[in-house]
Amino acid sequence: MGTGVKYHEKFHSLGFRGNSEYVMYVPSKSLWERRMPEYFKWRREEILGKIAKKSPKQLRFEEFDAPDQGSVHYARRNAKGQAIGGGFNDKLID
């Protein structure tokens, strides 16, 4: 059964998929840099480090390098936390 992890920061959110509570699929470094919004583009290691720090010790990241191998969802939020200009149904990488 698949699971997901949402990462929230200021007015931006990312949603990642996994196949269990211990595996999360993430774009490879090159795919991340090609497809992420500017706000997240050069911050892959920082963001994955923050996710790992707050997750079970058994969590591991599995990378994908082609858009058809995984997905990441992005949402921009207003001060009330409501999604604007996108939502988790809008795939960055699909």
CA distance 26 to 71: 8
Residue 89 has a pLDDT of 40
Look up residue 22 and give its DSSP letter. T
Predicted confidence (pLDDT) per residue in 26-40, tens digit: 999 998 888 888 889
Residue 42 has a pLDDT of 93
The pTM is what? 0.78
Residue 47 has a pLDDT of 94
Look up residue 32 and give its DSSP letter. H
Closest CA to 91 of 17, 7, 8: 17
Q: Which residues of the chain have pLDDT under 70?
A: 1-3, 67-69, 81, 83-94
